[in-house]
Structure 1
Amino acid sequence: MSAAAHPQSHPHAHPQPHPPLDGKVALVAGATRGAGRGIAVELGAAGATVYVTGRSTRERRSEYNRPEVIEDTADLVTAAGGRGIAVPVDHLVPAQVRSLVDRIETEQGRLDILVNDIWGGELLVEWDTPLWEHNLDNGLRMLRLAVDTHAITSHHALPLLLRTPGGLVVEMTDGTAEYNGKTYRDSFFYDLAKAAVLRMGFSLGHELGPRGATAVALTPGWLRSELMLDHFGVTEETWRDALKAEPHFAISETPSYVGRAVAALAADPEVARWNGGSLSSGQLAQEYGFSDLDGSRPDAFRYLVEVQGPGKPADVTGYR
């Protein structure tokens, strides 16, 4: 996925007396910015030790060439009350992922929560461009970034996660199975990438459930990530100015919101009831009672289906 200028930072820097995830170890793969950062910080606020990975560091940036780096995410995790540990990893390189998991095993002896939030495809999508006109190399790399990275990371991390009963795997995507199953996502490659990750949550549920762990696919709603705020030329303080250009942006949410969804799942002793399912931040807010940083509970995917999709005027009454 607070200080308004930093939507991912947590408003309560002091640890809770008995944090629900105290003693738990998490890996948020792809935590440089956006949902990954929001999830890492909220897991830290719940008391977890959180390994955060990505390709952008204080010494070296990815092709995004953006200011967000994994060390800052780790610092935010620690400031929120957990312990953040930044590890540079390219999740397309199996040897780097293997080394990461070996390090977690050596330092912690366990892994309780795996969040696969690796993406990195925003610069590769050619929206509203058919398959035969889309740059093929970019489209195939998008699939590698969305699919191969998750598979490589799970392949290496799941043996460690399965050592301790009750582990949780969260496959981060864009869209619920119901929504994506009926909606073309404006790009063959993007559509396929996000559908594949949804299926990962389902398939891993079948493989992990009998072995004492839980896997789900999870989507935020319209995320006020750093990239999205920049797209509209606004900040977290001024995000409502974007409503002039896009009134439906009123349903948007901070990265902390989906972060709180993951923290709620991780702290739920009955989380197995969700195994193999497709979930959204708005749905889980209703279930667990958490809210976004402003106290609201946006339900973006219900809004998309009932308001934005049918072309109704923007009105979030009853949706947040």
Structure 2
Amino acid sequence: MKPLHGKIALVAGATRGAGRGIAIELGAAGATVYVTGRTTRTQLSEYNRPETIEETAELVTKAGGLGIAVQVDHLVPEQVQALVNRIEEEQGRLDILVNDIWGGEYLVEWNVPVWEHSLEKGFRLLRLAIDTHLITNHYALPLLIKSKNGLIVEMTDGTAEYNQEHYRLSIYYDMAKTSIIRMAWALAQEVKPYECAAVSLTPGWLRSEIMLEHFKVTEENWQHAASEEPHFLISESPRYVGRAVAALAGDPDVTRWNGQSLSSGQLAQVYGFTDVDGSRPNCMPYLVEVMEAGKPADVSGYR
């Protein structure tokens, strides 16, 4: 029997990127996965991208689980409440909540000081990155805490240690990603009495659809991007962080991680999973010890 058979998951923000990879891997472990986002086959979001929640749901089912696509704008409380009501009516429980809602790629103005950065874009970014998570937690957690060992995963960029020591090249991006880490820690205090766990989780250098397009490569030939950016060899597929979430969700002692800031590479060392190519990238120490140290690209010992 698959380790997450019978478990009910909600991956909020699963249209593409890490959210899609997480949803697929939860499905591969046997879970029923509700996948949400704004882009469907009949309606585009402000991203104006081709990926859809229906595609994600189909990939979840193909992997061995059951994918259920629900169009939700997580900034609209009524839509989130309706989503959770539907999950409760159809399943009667919620075991795993992954908050991967983001939406800020095209709003960040990198290396632009706050006095020059667009206020409109900055505030929109913060609403998409933080308010969505708070709204989703508000409505979903009353259902989740009914399940012993319920798991909340707040997806972010960077660990607590890394973000404390590094400016993330935009005050709005810095605030968004660091706030999610703190949010997970605060949630941990609130769900602890219910024997549930909340963590923040970061992937390494993620080969999202947008990142692959940036380097003009595909997941099949991504190594070719190393000719332009040699350090890209440390990158990881979205399925890798998905396997990190699946490992946490299948851990009967998951509360040992409560409140912690985790990375995909760190959890791979603990749980023994690999990326889709059989490697085990550990990006966070590589960033500091190789990239930021000015050393030539060399993933030996980090992959």
Q: TM-score range by the shorter chain?
A: over 0.9
| Aligned-residue identity in percent | 71
**Paired residue for 1:82?**
65
Which residue, out of 135, 140, 165, partners 1:182?
165
Q: Distance in 1 between matches of 2:9 and 2:24?
A: 11
2:50 is aligned with 1:53: no
Q: Which runs of 5+ in 2 are unaligned?
A: none
Q: Distance in 2 between matches of 1:167 and 1:79?
A: 25
**Paired residue for 2:144?**
161
How far apart are 1:73 and its partner, in Å?
A: 0.2
Q: Distance in 2 between matches of 1:163 and 1:285?
A: 29
Q: Distance in 2 between matches of 1:91 and 1:133?
A: 29
Within 5 A, what are the aligned runs for 1:27-38?
A: 27-38=10-21
Within 5 A, what are the aligned runs for 1:268-279?
A: 268-279=251-262
2:192 is aligned with 1:209: yes
Within 5 A, what are the aligned runs for 1:82-161?
A: 82-161=65-144
How far apart are 1:245 and its partner, in Å?
A: 1.2
SS in 2 for 1:240: helix
- Give the letter aligned to residue 86 of structure 2: R
Q: Distance in 2 between matches of 1:235 and 1:261?
A: 23
Number of matched pairs: 303
The two structures have a TM-score, normalised by structure 1, of 0.94
SS in 1 for 2:106: helix
**Paired residue for 2:211?**
228
**Paired residue for 2:237?**
254
Q: Distance in 1 between matches of 2:172 and 2:7?
A: 36
2:194 is aligned with 1:194: no
- Give the letter aligned to residue 209 of structure 1: K
SS in 2 for 1:67: coil
RMSD: 0.5
Q: Distance in 1 between matches of 2:191 and 2:214?
A: 39
Q: Distance in 1 between matches of 2:286 and 2:57?
A: 33
2:245 is aligned with 1:286: no
Which residue, out of 73, 76, 79, partners 2:56?
73
2:285 is aligned with 1:302: yes
Which 4+ residue blocks in structure 1 deviate beyond 6 angstroms?
Answer: none
After superposition, what is the alpha-carbon deviation per residue over 1:20-62, rounded to whole angstroms, capped at 9, x for unaligned? Answer: 0000000000000000000000000000000000000000011
After superposition, what is the alpha-carbon deviation per residue over 1:229-264, rounded to whole angstroms, capped at 9, x for unaligned? Answer: 001111111211111111111100000000000000
How far apart are 1:309 and its partner, in Å?
A: 1.0
Q: Distance in 1 between matches of 2:286 and 2:258?
A: 25
